[in-house]
Structure 1
Amino acid sequence: MRDARSTRWDEHRVAVRAQLVEAAIRAIERCGVGVSMDDIAAEAEVSKPKLYRYFGDKAGLNGAVAAKLGALMWESAQVTIFAEQEHASVDDMVRSSIQSYVALVGQHPVVVRFLMANHLFEYSGSGSGGVAEQLRSVMEVIAGRFTESLQRIHADTSIIPMAVASILGSGLSATQWWTDGGREQGVDDKFFAAHLLETTWGIIDGAGATIGVAFSRGLPFSHPGFASRR
């Protein structure tokens, strides 16, 4: 059995790692994509060997930063999508999830650029693509509800994974453009969220048309008329 000292040490390591990740995020936001381990150590007020002791190498620390941002996205989804009322419209649910995503990206645009530059904000479909895997997990919750709606009318559900990949791909490309310079060009959070909402519905409606189904976005998933044959 593990003694209390081992448990306390584990808790201490977790707490120190979390503090170092927060310092890394601050350093990234201050120094940009070219941030170094020296910059991060200075921000954390620790030696570089301590960073290596806790993360192994820079790639390990970068992965921890990606995991932190992914966790923030998952937490955001829990208070939007997963808190959705049964009678809320699908459009409201999709809009609230996109707004939460855009707000988080808007709070940490430099970190998002950094993770994208290090291929840690991409979607691979393999479960190891980076932050986007958390987005995929959130989207799978919504995709499951679409699948149930299609099954009720005995429609082809094989289109769902393709639609999910299309939404993620276009959304991540748009996010990269937005964080790289779109915000400075005057595209604010509200406009960007509205764009993502309409392009998302464009993909959903296009997928539905492919299998001869129309979606009524103003209805809740539970409504029998949400998905209907064209």
Structure 2
Amino acid sequence: MNKLLPVSPPAFAAGSADGRSARWQTHREDRRRELIKSARRAVHALGSDASMEEIAAAAGTSKSVFYRYFGDKAGLQQAVGEVVLSQMQQRIREAAQSAQTPRQGLFAMVSAYLQMAETSPNVYSFVTRYSPADADTSQNAAAISGALGHFFESIGEMIATPMRTHLGDGKEAVIGYWPMAAIGLVRNAGEQWLSTPASDSKPDQEAMARQITAWLCVGIAPELDQSKSP
């Protein structure tokens, strides 16, 4: 009497499971990107203080869907911020590459930063500010702060590169401190400019970029430089 041998599952079974898993992962990633785009449009229209419920309604879905993909509002801010800040970084890098001099490079980068922030002040505010009350965990809040810090560190290195070449050797101490100080000036001046109501006295984007560049290069009152006194 022949013994019955165990029947092995079809060879394609494991492959089919892997294929389903890959398709599901792709679906989740596509859905997540769609939700990020929808949230960005909603914040642009509704304002940076829009609630998760308002964002979900504008996206044509439920709040629970956003919570499923992002955890909480801080998680959504982080996800949108990663996309927006990456685009800003790329735009600033491209602007710098077209410059012929260090000062032109600074102007191009400041101008690109202001242009993208001005395109949607609501989205800019949404991804660069967060309320601890909106975060379910301090880890999420730290992630937002970390992503923002990484963005400005990258920009700081970008603006330092042409200045190293311009200043030459022996200026390492200046270059070491200047980029982050410059970023603080650009960010704070830019955000104050964004929040200032339109008026005849408010400079346009190009004029503001030129003013900030002048502050970075020569300061606000170069005639007060005592180092040049006898």
Please indicate the TM-score interval, normalised by the length of the shorter structure.
0.7 to 0.9
Match of 1:200 in 2: 216
Q: 1:94 aligns with which of 106, 118, 125?
A: 106
Q: How does 1:67-216 map to 2 (within 5 A)?
A: 67-81=82-96, 83-84=97-98, 88-118=100-130, 128-131=145-148, 133-148=150-165, 150=167, 152=168, 154-183=169-198, 186-202=202-218
Amino acid aligned to 1:198: A
SS of equivalent to 1:46: coil
Runs of 4+ in 1 over 6 A off after TM superposition: none
TM-score normalised by length of structure 1: 0.73
- The CA distance in 1 between the partners of 2:47 and 2:119, in whole Å, is 14
Amino acid aligned to 1:192: M
Note closer, same or farther for the CA distance 1:8–1:75 as it changes in structure 2 (3 Å cut). farther
Deviation of residue 202 (structure 1)?
A: 3.0
Q: 1:69 touches 1:131 (CA, 8 Å); kept in 2?
A: no
Match of 1:4 in 2: 19
Bigger helix fraction: 2
The percentage of counterpart residues that share the same residue type is 26
Deviation of residue 139 (structure 1)?
A: 2.7
The alignment covers a number of residue pairs equal to 198
SS of equivalent to 1:118: coil
Task: Give the RMSD, CA atoms, in angstroms.
Answer: 3.1
Structure 1: 5+ residue stretches without partners: 121-125, 213-230
Q: Residues 85-108 of structure 1, C-alpha deviation per residue, up to 9 Å, x if partnerless?
A: 7xx222222222222111101101
Q: 1:127 touches 1:133 (CA, 8 Å); kept in 2?
A: no
Structure 2: 5+ residue stretches without partners: 1-14, 133-142
Larger Rg: 2
Q: 1:25 aligns with which of 32, 40, 48?
A: 40
Deviation of residue 35 (structure 1)?
A: 0.4
TM-score normalised by length of structure 2: 0.73
SS of equivalent to 2:202: coil
Match of 2:57 in 1: 42
Deviation of residue 41 (structure 1)?
A: 0.5
Amino acid aligned to 2:127: L
